[in-house]
Copies of this chain bind each other. A is one copy, B any other.
Amino acid sequence: MNVIESGTVTSPAGFRAAALAAHIKYANRLDLAVIVSDRDCAAAGVFTQNQVAAAPVLVDKETLAKGNGRIRAIIANAGNANASTGKPGLKNARDTQQIAAASLGCTPEQVLILSTGVIGVQLPMNKLQAGIETAANQHSPDNGLAAAQAIMTTDTHPKHLAVQVELPGGVVTIGGMAKGSGMIHPNMATMLGVVTTDALVAPELLQGMLGTAVNASFNRISVDGDTSTNDTVLLLANGASGVPVNDAASVKAFQTTLTDFCIQLAQMIVRDGEGASKFVEIQVTSAKNSSDAHAIAATITTSPLVKTAFAGSDANWGRILAAAGRAGVTFDQNLVELWIGINTPNELQLVAQGTPTNYQEADAARIFAQPTFKIRLDLGIGTASDMMWTSDLTHEYVSINADYRT
């Protein structure tokens, strides 16, 4: 897999983008993105499992169920999530499809939509309509970066990536963008993510491949444990490369690249989590089964006490064990082992058979002071494992969220 420098959603052949300031909430920044394919796309989507799913999530699910294989465009806005907006919100989402279809010369069923921002406020449809109509005349292969900027909320920088991979039939390109920052604890999907490819993939294959990739990437990150109402990852494959993904070898190669690609995008979200100053990988090993391992990893990554210890570079590992112990999983605390700084020359074992080792506090503190480090909790029971990536809980997180709206 070959990373394209400054690659974006428009790096794959046949994709164009536009971005502009539609003034949906912000005074003067990009907040509307349009992604267009010059031919019909197979599409796949993975969506939030939050019961309070936003209107665009409901509409995209309908749209994919109805007319997959013919998707032409994605309309994405920041500043307003169109969530908890009831029937008027649902109508606004459908109207957005109509407006986009009229502007772009396709049908509403060929348009997917994404929204992110404040919950519980109706979309300003006049501004959105004016923005979409203008953007429809501006899309070009050069606007991939601007599109990634237009979906940011509290993100401090745009997240985008493109790679090339050689399949048996030739080279294909995968491009993508994502936004994250807060309300990040995906359950089957996360935040907004758009992945494009010029590979030729049948719609019925694409959904499974996206699911596999998301499970290993966006479903393994947590900033604050809050699963969003709008979590969506969309994958469009327009086939413009002419290179098919249709046999065991090409499926395997494409899947591997797609998964790696999504892991990189997902990690960008954690590294830019609201107020984040640390990036920590939590591994749980030797569990009875993978769901136990995942439950413990998820509880550790959402513990305020663990995450403030990360922020303070305090190797207060008792909080890690305490979080593991409340994960709803049965284990024997006398078998537990804990390592920090793993995969580095400074790897340090803090707990052996449930008892603190004679490690030096300064050595542990040095590892916790790194901007990136890995922790491994071994349960000593079985052979299953899981991992998650998380950030720390800082003053900055509180500052950002104590007055997000004002």
- Which residues of A line the B interface, CB within 8 A? 49-53, 81, 83-89, 118-122, 182-183, 185, 187, 224-229, 302-305, 308-309, 311-312, 314, 316-319, 321-327, 329-331, 333-334, 336, 350-351, 353-356, 393-395, 397-399, 401-406
Return A14 CB to nearest CB of chain B, in Å: 36
Task: Give the chain B neighbours of A182 by CB distance below 8 A.
Answer: 305
Task: Give the chain B neighbours of A402 by CB distance below 8 A.
Answer: 308-309, 311-312, 314, 394
Task: Give the chain B neighbours of A336 by CB distance below 8 A.
Answer: 52
A304 engages B393 (CB within 8 Å):
yes
Among B122, B324, B356, B397, contact of A120 (Cβ-Cβ < 8 Å): B356
Return A402 CB to nearest CB of chain B, in Å: 3
B81 engages A226 (CB within 8 Å):
no
B405 engages A333 (CB within 8 Å):
no
* CA gap between A399 and B49 in the complex, in Å: 34
Q: Which residue of B lies closest to A227 (CB)?
A: B326
Task: Give the chain B neighbours of A118 by CB distance below 8 A.
Answer: 316, 318
* CA gap between A52 and B204 in the complex, in Å: 46
Among B50, B321, B395, contact of A325 (Cβ-Cβ < 8 Å): B50
Among B323, B333, B404, contact of A226 (Cβ-Cβ < 8 Å): B323
* CA gap between A119 and B86 in the complex, in Å: 47
* CA gap between A16 and B403 in the complex, in Å: 49
* CA gap between A266 and B329 in the complex, in Å: 27
B356 engages A398 (CB within 8 Å):
no
Task: Give the chain B neighbours of A52 by CB distance below 8 A.
Answer: 321-322, 324-325, 333, 336
Return A348 CB to nearest CB of chain B, in Å: 14
Q: Which residue of B lies closest to A231 (CB)?
A: B326
